[in-house]
Amino acid sequence: MAPDFLSNIDLFYTNEPVVGNLLKIVGEEVHHIKDVMRYNVDDIIYVTDGKGSIFKATIKSISKSNLQCSINQTYRYNNPFDNITFCIPRLRTMDRLEFALEKCVELGITNFIVFDSIRTVIKGAKIDRWQKVLLAAMKQSLRAWLPTINYVRSVSEIALLPGRRVVFEQSSSIPFNKFISKPDFSARVENIYFVFGPEGGFADEEIAMTKKCSFVKLTDNRLRTETAVITAASLIAMELV
C-alpha cells in the first residue's frame, strides 16, 4: 500500500454510494466505529468501498445507525487477482475452511467458490458466515477489494464455467511455480479456476469431469487441503505483486 497506510490504522467498510465528497456508513460498522473503537466527530478514519478505493475521511456526524464523513483523500488500487478463482471443497471442520479463506484474502485472492464433492462429509453452504470471514480479513489486511464467494453443489458445475480450469494433482509433471511463471498467466488473458481436491481425493466420476483441465503439482508431499490452498495463494502473491 501507499506509505500513508501503516499497520497502526483501522480500516472500515461501507457499501453505500459516495455522493460528492460525502461518505455514509450504516449498520454494524457504525457500532464498531463509535462503540468499540471509540471514534468521535472530527476524527480521521479510513474506509473502503470494497471496489478498489480507500477513503481517508473525517467524521462529521454520528447517530445510532448512521455515520457521515467527508472525504479528504481517495486512494485507488488495482486488483491483480481479479481473473483468479480458488475452488475449495467443503472441509470436515468449518474452522479449517475459514482459516484458509482468511489467509487467502490476506494474500490477495478475491474470488472463491466452495463446492461439495462426492466424498465431502459435511455438505451445504454457509454463505453469510463465509462472507463475514472474508470481510473481516479484507479489513484486517488493509485490502481495497471485497472478496466474492459462491457455492456450487458439484465439480460438474465448475467444469461448465467459462475459462481455464487448473486442478492440483500430485502425479502431474508440471510444477505449479512454473505454471504461474509463464507470461500468459501474469498477462491475465483469461479467467483461471484453481481447483483443490477434497479430503480423500476426487471420486472416479469427478476425475472424468476434469479430463479437459490442466493439471499441476504443488509439492512432492501430500498436503492438507487448507495447507495446499494457502501455499498456492502465497506463490501466486509472490508472482503477481
Dump pLDDT digits (tens) for 225-241: 999 999 999 999 999 97
Q: Which of 5-9, 133-137, 170-174, 195-199 has the lowest mean pLDDT?
A: 5-9
Compute the distance between CA of residue 38 and CA of residue 31 in angstroms, rounded to an integer. 9
Residue 5's pLDDT band, with cuts at 50, 70 and 90, is low
Give the 3-state secondary structure percentages of the chain, helix then strand then coil, rounded to 5. Answer: 30, 30, 40
The pLDDT, as a whole number, for residue 182 is 87
Q: What is the structure's pLDDT at 3?
A: 43
Q: What is the mean pLDDT of residues 195-203?
A: 85
Phi/psi at 202 (5° precision): -75, 145
Q: pTM for the complete prediction?
A: 0.92
Q: Kindly report the CATH number that applies to the domain delimited by 84-240.
A: 3.40.1280.10
- The percentage of the chain sitting over the pLDDT mark of 90, rounded to a whole number, equals 73
CATH number, domain 11-76? 2.40.240.20
Give the separation between CA 222 and CA 204, rounded to whole angstroms.
Answer: 19
Note the pLDDT tens digit of each residue in 14-32.
999 999 999 999 999 999 9
Q: Does pLDDT of 179 surpass 70? A: yes
- Nearest Cα neighbor of 138 from 92, 104, 180 is 104
Strand partners, 44: 58
Q: How confident is the model at residue 4 (pLDDT cuts 50, 70, 90)?
A: low
Domain extents in the chain: 11-76, 84-240
Find out whether 190 and 214 touch, Cβ atoms under 8 Å. no
